[in-house]
């Protein structure tokens, strides 16, 4: 369900997020993206996996180009 919207990006729906980014000093910075949001991400970003015939892409928040509202 991730159609190509341009040669540079794909659209996907956020299924889950982690607790945030941990800095070297141990402080955790919360993520800005939330489950349920639609995002645009780079065509070659993240790691793709397939579970029960569904494809998922694991991304770092830095790989997200935009949140679609």
pLDDT tens digits for range 49-65: 999 998 899 999 999 99
List phi, psi (to 5°) of 61: -60, -30
The pTM of the full predicted model, rounded to 2 decimals, is 0.75
Distance (Å, whole) CA 50 – CA 37: 21
Kindly state the percentage of the chain with pLDDT values over 70.
Answer: 88
Specify the residue for token string 């015939």: 53
Q: 29: pLDDT confidence band, cut at 50, 70 and 90?
A: very high
Residue bearing tokens 């941990």: 22
Beta pairing, strands 9-13 & 38-42: antiparallel
Higher model confidence: residue 3 or residue 56? 56
Beta bridge partners of 29: 21
What's the rounded Cα separation, in Å, for the pair 66 and 50?
24
Q: Is the pLDDT of residue 22 over 70?
A: yes
């Amino acid at each position: 369900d991730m159609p190509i919207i341009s040669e540079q990006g794909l659209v996907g729906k956020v299924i889950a997020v982690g607790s945030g980014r941990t800095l070297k000093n141990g402080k955790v910075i919360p993520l800005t993206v939330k489950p349920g949001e639609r995002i645009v991400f780079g065509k070659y970003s993240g790691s793709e996996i397939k579970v029960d015939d569904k494809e998922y892409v694991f991304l770092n928040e830095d790989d997200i180009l935009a949140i679609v509202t």
